[in-house]
Amino acid sequence: MSKPPDILRIAIVQANPTVGDVAGNLVLARKARADAARAKADLVLFTELFMSGYPPEDLVLKPAFVEECMEAVEALAGDTSDGGPGVIMGSPVRDKSGLYNAAAMLDEGKIKTWRMKVDLPNYGVFDEKRVFDTGPMPGPVNFRGVRIGIPICEDIWGDFGVSETLTESGAEFLLVPNGSPYYSEKMDVRHQVVIRQIIESGLPIAYANQLGGQDELVFDGGSFVINRDHHLAVQMNQFESSVIVTTWRRGESGWFCEDGVKANLPDKEESDWRACVSGLRDYVNKNGFANVVLGLSGGIDSAICAAMAVDALGEERVRCIMMPYDYTSEESLDDAAACAKALGVKYETVPIEKPVEGFSAALSDLFEGTNEGVTEENLQSRARGVILMAVSNKFGSMVVTTGNKSEMSVGYATLYGDMNGGYNPIKDLYKMQVYRLADWRNRNVSPDCLGPSGEVIPQNIIDKAPSAELRPDQTDQDSLPPYPVLDEILECLVELEMSVDDIVNKGHERKLVEHIEHLLYIAEYKRRQSAPGVKITRKYFGRDRRYPITNRFRDR
């Protein structure tokens, strides 16, 4: 019997699979394994459910889909007969006992064994208990004489004691495949989760995290290794695809990972920006859109969405349309043109006077004897929405919609108007976050962004009072409190689920808090009809926050 090795070179793969594209994901896996083999790796660690893409949701209830994933894992296992690196591959698997979120150990041309996920998350954006069965408590796998624990994602986030069990059954270190979606400042949370597990297990841990956008979720990578002494040995980049080989040695007190890559992680503004860009890019590309179109109004929201679209796709794939009406100011016309010029995008003007007048004329008999108001204002927004959707239909462009979280919270948006679109990169950014990111982007450009450096959002757009320009001299604050106040109240209501009394105790006027709470609840029907967008905060509208549309509760 050969002596177990004292050195292992383990490649961590941070790649961007696509849900449902099993053949494409297998190609990605083979390329990453080949890269790892050239770097003399012994073992290649992929992320959670890599072969299916994550999260596959109800796709895994389709037997043909799970069979295709398992066949792809078998094919990849066959590749390992070449004497190259073994593989830990995430995939759904079905056997006589159930359907599991699992990881396979592949070596010597075959599937050596499977390990099933024990702790199935059922909170926030996760609902794995809906589709998967709970796996048995795992023991370590034997890889060429080394006993390796493979807890899967939530197995180290929850309190099932999976890591401790693996230690007790002889695991020498832990390799963890993850599908951990982004929210602001989550890297610190991941580090703390792993350190807590090291304290419980006494073992070093490699944390491999998925990369790329999947509908509302963005996976930011940022894979890392922390040794048993809590020392960060390896830190991979966020938002960048890579295959990094880590070197592990058996010492007197057990295995440890040598110091390797130490990426400089982006700060909060940069990581939020890159998450928005990554989510938009992958939504457009993975769904097969050649380009995008959006309305450029001269306001901050459309300007930042245009900048994100250029950073995601390049200027040649972004088309911007200004749609002025009687209340559109010369300032807005100038600002929109300046923004389009700075970004280098195709820019056109389509006046909406005739469509709005046509709608008004068609409705004149029905509306006779009534006063003009919000209905007539919304006709402007809906005319713009019709124009953008017509361009989308004619040229195959996806419409980027531009409403921020503050507006989506209180219903300050028009159904079938400015809410029209396929995807919204700022849907989970409060208004003041939009301003902060616009200021950041004018001073910075990230390496994975395709847009120009310098000021891409004219300073006047940032400085001027926000307005929908649907009536003379209108500003947002005619209908809403100042955005710093509104955003703080909304964060208390949405992110923190605070009571009205507790928010009032923070210094806000009770009548205002009750009004904002009321607007938040009655706008639920609008949010259900809104385009998907990137999750940035801890409480994204949709999977994170599932409130009923019909809801008479008010906190009084």
Three-class SS state of 28? helix
Which of 182-186, 274-278, 528-532 holds the top average pLDDT?
274-278
Three-class SS state of 478? helix
pLDDT higher than threshold 70 for residue 478 = no
pLDDT, position 12: 98
Looking at 48, 154, 315, 407, which residue is catalytic?
48
Q: What is the pLDDT of residues 284-312, one digit of tens each?
A: 999 999 999 999 999 999 999 999 999 99
Torsion of CA 334, 337, 341, 346, to 10 degrees: -170
pLDDT, position 469: 55
Measured between alpha carbons, how far is 40 from 8 in angstroms, rounded to an integer? 10
CATH architecture of 269-474: 3-Layer(aba) Sandwich (3.40)
Measured between alpha carbons, how far is 443 from 162 in angstroms, rounded to an integer? 45
- β-strands 110-116, 98-107 pairing: antiparallel
CATH fold group of domain 7-265: Nitrilase/N-carbamoyl-D-aminoacid amidohydrolase (3.60.110)
pLDDT higher than threshold 80 for residue 473 = no
Q: Which candidate, 364, 329, 267, 257, places its Cα nearest to that of 475? A: 329
Length of the chain: 556
Looking at 117, 186, 526, 539, which residue is catalytic?
117
Tokens 């962004």 -> residue: 449
pLDDT, position 142: 95
DSSP state, residue 190:
H
pLDDT higher than threshold 70 for residue 337 = yes
More confident: 545 or 317: 317
pLDDT higher than threshold 60 for residue 554 = yes
Q: How confident is the model at residue 9 (pLDDT cuts 50, 70, 90)?
A: very high
Looking at 69, 128, 153, 526, which residue is catalytic?
153
* Domains in the chain: boundaries: 7-265, 269-474
Q: Angle 75-77-78 (CA atoms, 0-180°, nearest 5)? A: 65
CB atoms within 10 A of CB 421: 25
Q: How confident is the model at residue 550 (pLDDT cuts 50, 70, 90)?
A: confident
240 in active site: no
Mean pLDDT, all residues of the chain: 93
- β-strands 7-14, 43-45 pairing: parallel
Q: How confident is the model at residue 392 (pLDDT cuts 50, 70, 90)?
A: very high
Q: Provide the whole-model pTM.
A: 0.94
Q: What is the pLDDT of residues 111-136, one digit of tens each?
A: 999 999 999 988 888 889 899 999 99
Contact 277, 448 (CB under 8 A): yes
- Over range 509-538, report the average pLDDT: 93
Q: How confident is the model at residue 1 (pLDDT cuts 50, 70, 90)?
A: low
Q: Which two tokens stand for residue 79?
A: 């590749």
153 in active site: yes
Out of 132-136, 283-287, 341-345, 464-468, which region has the weakest mean confidence (pLDDT)? 464-468
Q: What is the pLDDT of residues 410-447, one digit of tens each?
A: 998 898 998 999 999 999 999 999 999 999 999 999 98
- From residue 259, alpha-carbon distances to 102, 245, 247 in Å are 29, 11, 8
Contact 504, 556 (CB under 8 A): no
